[in-house]
Structure 1
Amino acid sequence: MAATLTLLSACSKSGDDQMPSGNYVSSKILIAGVKMYTGNGEVTDQSLINRYIASRDLQRFFKSAQTEEPETGLVTISLEPGKATVKYPGQPMTMEMSYRQTGNGRYLLNWVGKTLWQMPNPNFRCMQMGDSILQYPVNKLNIVSIPDAGGYSTFYTPSFDYVLNVKAGTLTAPFLSYAFSNDNHPYSACSSANGDVWNMFNPGCLARLRNGDTLVVQSKTVLLKKQ
């Protein structure tokens, strides 16, 4: 069953532009190719990328090649004037978020809530924003951090922004699969957040990669069809 995105009428602050309204269902997911980076730069050898993904049992998070496929029920988002509700099917957490237009076909959902920590290894340093939502997997859209020390550090930050875009008249939801490891340190030190936007990749974090770091990312876009 496709996930449903429900939008209630709202007027934008910009004046003439009308924010999306009505009911939308996710109809297709566009998955970009996997990108891999280390402290020495980008890795372009696909066999090395595949070997890294397999060695850490990450096949469920990443597609080996660029693809386009039907959507099978990923996330439910309800929008009304000034308010949004985000729900991941089969997961216990529902996020109540603010909702506003920022211009250029972009709509910003902001969540301010309690921080949820899951620290199986007490030696872990806290991950940065956007590094992991492993406790709330979302079918093909999972984000996960993999410290080499063994185990996971999983949490939601107290505040983050989530973006919806309008491209060529189609409402889209970007997502990001993200894995990070370091051969020499038991913690992650690179955030996937684009500014405060957790579901989009920030290339600026590549400048912070150091010796022993490995970063794998895959951008995904869900196309939403109006009912």
Structure 2
Amino acid sequence: MAKAHFLPPARSGTPGLRDGEPVRGPAGPGPAAAVTAPSPGNPRLRRAACAAPLCVLAALAAACSAGEKQDEPEARGSVAANPQPAASENTGDEEGARAWRYTSVTDCTKVREENEEMPYVELRCDGPAGYALRISDSDGRNAVAVIDPQGEETPLELSRLGSGGFSSVGQTAEWRGPSAGAFTPDALILRYNLSESPYPEPPVPYLLAIRLQPEPCVVAKIAPGPAQNAVSRRRADDPGACLFD
């Protein structure tokens, strides 16, 4: 079947899963280039101070140079820009209890397409251990269903997460499960970009924590923030009740 790539990436500068698909802490996409904000401790400012007339004296110049090395601060105000996965899989976190795999949700098989009244495209994106995702796009709004290894399909009801605005799924799915034995996921994390304000405001890049057992459902919708990735993994690994129970 044909391959399709209809899902748009998240805007650059968004923290999170590649696309901002999940950020690898002990378990996830790793660091990216950072932008450092100027600060009073900027070494360039200290070097400028050493250009004062007294710094011409050899002794004071040496002391100034030594002080500069001692006072050198770590960069502050850094902002990760679109972190990327360091690997497609891992065998466990720092405690060795959880493992994870990454799969693409853009390089998928097109299973249906209609163009009569409104464009509609449906993809099947294979995951690990017999799982798959069915992702559809209709009028700029994405829907997702989880297909389990027995072929049973469960819609995630993503339309209930917003007020009908445009939406798109990120480029990578993070599947999580126990590290012991053959990898069998029991949780999933997806990027879900949701338009909540009129254009030209950008969509909000949420992360969705999704449990796979006993029945797939969204258990948490995590807003952007410094701890977004850590919170999404914590909620996925200890899911609790479905959002729509």
Q: TM-score, normalised by structure 2?
A: 0.29
Which gives a bigger RCO, structure 1 or 2 (Cα 8 Å, sep 6+)? Answer: 1
Q: TM-score, normalised by structure 1?
A: 0.31
